[in-house]
Structure 1
Amino acid sequence: MQTATSNRTPVPDVAAQVAHAMRMMGVAPIPRNYELYYEAYLGSNPQLSKELAALGSRATQEELDAIGARYFSHIHYPTGIERAHNTLAAKLTELVSLLKDEQYALDNYNRVLDEAFHKMTSKSAASADILRHAIDILTEATADTMSQGKERVQSVVQKSFEMEVIRQELDEYKRIANTDSLTRLGNRRAFDENLAAVYNSEHLRNFTGLLVADIDHFKKVNDSFGHPVGDKILATVSNVIRANLRRDAFVARTGGEEFAVILGGSSQEECLQAADRIRTVLAGTPFKNSKTGINYGPITLSVGVCMATAADDPFDLYNKADIALYSAKNAGRNRTVLFEDGMRKDSGRNWLIYRR
């Protein structure tokens, strides 16, 4: 493992620049619009950048949503969720109605029992007639109640099944919304949620580390070989990262060529070992076109590491891991750097894209 510490040169505040550009163009500052312009700013999708530029300063929300639906379908899912929620609400209403009917039937049956009891204890008629009439009442009421009960049980089972299907549909919408379409890792939205959750528990905070990794010289790869090749490299890098971590580690693509790993239940040494294992395996992975023989590699990663106990909150944790990452970049790349007190805190990058 190589470690290094050095002062960082200021980097552009991407979040501020994207937000400023959106204001200048009159674009509503909502998360799905931000993601469009953020990706356009990074330049990872030239066609997306070209389409947004063509809209100029007169873009309507419908036009932006149409572009978003083509490139980022995972953030244009509210309609489906709303439909599923409405269906679920309707099924719950039907189920409540069934239960109310069942309650009414039981209440009515109790009334019949009470009537039969009064007839049997009545002294105004012959005992045989009373008993015969009471038995007829109870037999008919019991048969009706059992028949209605069976029907309602079947209806309740059916409604429960339908609600389970809808619940699975809602889970799938959330999974899609939290998944990066290219790498199939978690996206920035999912990362924000998982990182914030670290500070919901003292135990999690005490045994969690954050790794922030960035592909070295990735812009040069895109410029030299084109974005389709760059996308394939991103997918391969994501597979290498995922394959060299425990199954319970959370991995996300948080930017164009940036990845983040949240390692729960891990010591500082374990986090550093994980970061170096990923770097070493990736550096030894061939990136070559089997048909043309073109070699795209080597592909390497710089990694910044910070433990949750060294930060006050999720924002501070990401900021410090980010500083460590850029210290690794400045120290020569393809190395792991652990955040230490005294490193400059001027990364200027805002991870809270979805904070309202």
Structure 2
Amino acid sequence: MTAAAAPKAQVPDVAGQITYAMRSMGVAPIPRNYELFYEAYIGSNPALTRDLAALGSQASQEELDALGAQHFTHSPARVLDDAHTRIAAELEGLLRVLRQEQTSLESYNKLLGETCKRINSKSAASLELIENAITILTEATGDTMAHGERTVENVAQRSQEMDRVRKELDEYKRIANTDSLTRLSNRRAFDDRLAAVFDNPALKPITALVLADIDNFKKINDTYGHPVGDKILATVASVIRANVRRDIFVARTGGEEFALIVDGNTPEEVMSMAERIRRTLEATPFKNSRTRVNYGPVTVSMGVCMASNADDPGELYYKTDIALYGAKNAGRNCCILYQDGMQKDFSKSWLIYKS
């Protein structure tokens, strides 16, 4: 074995251990919970580590959220609260401007009415009356137009500020919903999209969830190191994205797990797509162009389940996970469609997911 290919010291599979810890405690696999467990695991915040441990093995979601609010000052909720405060202030200012404009126009309208009455009156000399009316109307019109211009400018400025806040929120949402390594959607975005699958029951028979898990990924990380593992993750992500339609939702949902939500296809069509991804990855070279070290072959196991086989997002994910487990148990590098009656063999180690 060459020095370049020599196994490195084993590195803990952080993502796998965190996910396992969350599953063991019955904690929902949502981003804010993962963030808590990640920070506690790596020890960057000793106080958080102690506080999380103090919750024991049956922590409620309310307790976890309270812990997050205590230790994370830049949480999504705080960002949204700040944006809400800024928009509310701008809207209040805008209402004040519009109320002032309304008052100004009411005064101008009153002046027009009084001038009209004076012109219609026969008690004053016609020439003098008209001259005075013209002077009054000219000054009032000029003042009203100037006030209107200031109002327009003020409204425009406040509208620009609200648009800036909107763009900041859009950018924050984009960043918050994107996996930084693969540039795919992340678990937060996946959870939202998966929940939306059941918004239209008529589409369930032609909607599918696909889970793909890289085979032997822990061995790749242990042998070549995490930088190589990260490059492989990015390459797998690009291969998946390149082999599906642009409108298909693709996310990285875990350490080496990817998910696809496919709309408008039959089970046969979804399986054909999954097979295309699997075959393409199987044939993709994973080599270091400088050292010529071959990291491959890199393959994936895939589980597929149609939404019509589930009553809610949780059940759909669970049954797709069963199909993925079946693919792993069948020898990996294959795709399995969930069928009624499929069960996980819990006598086997969960570590099959990490191999």
Quickly say closer, same or farther: Cα 1:224–1:173, change in 2 above 3 A.
same
TM-score (normalizing by structure 1): 0.79
Distance in 2 between residues matched to 1:265 and 1:336, nearest whole Å: 19
Secondary structure of 1:303 counterpart: strand
Aligned residue identity for 1:125 = A
CA drift at 1:206: 3.8
Distance in 2 between residues matched to 1:30 and 1:330, nearest whole Å: 23
Distance in 2 between residues matched to 1:127 and 1:191, nearest whole Å: 78
Matched residue, 1:113: 112
**Map of 1:198-217 to 2, 5 A cutoff?**
198-217=197-216
Distance in 2 between residues matched to 1:293 and 1:336, nearest whole Å: 30
Q: Which runs of 5+ in 2 are unaligned?
A: 1-18, 53-63, 347-355
For structure 1, which segment, 104-113 or 133-142, has the greater mean C-alpha deviation from structure 2 after superposition? 133-142
Contact 2:31/2:188, CA 8 A, preserved across alignment: no
Matched residue, 1:298: 297
**Map of 1:55-66 to 2, 5 A cutoff?**
58-59=50-51
Distance in 2 between residues matched to 1:278 and 1:331, nearest whole Å: 18
Contact 1:32/1:76, CA 8 A, preserved across alignment: no
Instruction: After superposition, give the CA deviation of every residue in 1:37-69 in whole Å (9 maximum; x if it has no partner).
Output: 6558xxxxxxx84426966953589xx97xx98
Distance in 2 between residues matched to 1:225 and 1:342, nearest whole Å: 40
CA drift at 1:183: 1.5
Distance in 1 between residues matched to 2:46 and 2:289, nearest whole Å: 37
**Map of 1:125-136 to 2, 5 A cutoff?**
125-136=124-135
Matched residue, 1:224: 223
Instruction: After superposition, give the CA deviation of every residue in 1:99-136 in whole Å (9 maximum; x if it has no partner).
Output: 11211111111111111122122243233333332222
Quickly say closer, same or farther: Cα 1:346–1:113, change in 2 above 3 A.
farther
Contact 2:30/2:187, CA 8 A, preserved across alignment: no
Q: How many residues align?
A: 314
Secondary structure of 2:124 counterpart: coil
Distance in 2 between residues matched to 1:346 and 1:160, nearest whole Å: 59
**Map of 1:230-241 to 2, 5 A cutoff?**
230-241=229-240
Percent of pairs identical after alignment?
Answer: 52
Quickly say closer, same or farther: Cα 1:31–1:284, change in 2 above 3 A.
closer
Contact 1:301/1:333, CA 8 A, preserved across alignment: yes
Contact 2:108/2:144, CA 8 A, preserved across alignment: yes
Secondary structure of 1:83 counterpart: helix
Instruction: After superposition, give the CA deviation of every residue in 1:287-344 in whole Å (9 maximum; x if it has no partner).
Output: 1112222211111111111111221111111111111111111111111111111111
Secondary structure of 1:294 counterpart: coil
Matched residue, 2:311: 312
Q: Does 1:51 align with 2:57?
A: no
Matched residue, 1:183: 182
Distance in 2 between residues matched to 1:219 and 1:197, nearest whole Å: 33
CA drift at 1:142: 1.4
Secondary structure of 2:84 counterpart: helix
Q: Does 1:139 align with 2:138?
A: yes
Distance in 2 between residues matched to 1:203 and 1:102, nearest whole Å: 51
Matched residue, 2:56: none
Aligned residue identity for 2:112 = L
Matched residue, 1:263: 262
CA drift at 1:256: 1.1
Secondary structure of 1:273 counterpart: helix
CA drift at 1:264: 1.5
CA drift at 1:16: 3.6
Matched residue, 1:289: 288
TM-score (normalizing by structure 2): 0.79
**Map of 1:314-329 to 2, 5 A cutoff?**
314-329=313-328
Q: Which runs of 5+ in 1 are unaligned?
A: 1-11, 21-28, 41-47, 348-356
Q: Which has the higher contact order (CA 8 A, sep 6+)?
A: 1
Instruction: After superposition, give the CA deviation of every residue in 1:11-30 in whole Å (9 maximum; x if it has no partner).
Output: x975342558xxxxxxxx99
Instruction: After superposition, give the CA deviation of every residue in 1:186-221 in whole Å (9 maximum; x if it has no partner).
Output: 111111100101111234434311101111111111
**Map of 1:62-101 to 2, 5 A cutoff?**
76-101=75-100
Quickly say closer, same or farther: Cα 1:149–1:135, change in 2 above 3 A.
same
Secondary structure of 1:89 counterpart: helix
Instruction: After superposition, give the CA deviation of every residue in 1:149-198 in whole Å (9 maximum; x if it has no partner).
Output: 12221222232222212211111111111111221211111111001011
Distance in 1 between residues matched to 2:280 and 2:222, nearest whole Å: 25
Matched residue, 1:351: none
Contact 1:304/1:328, CA 8 A, preserved across alignment: yes
Matched residue, 1:17: 24
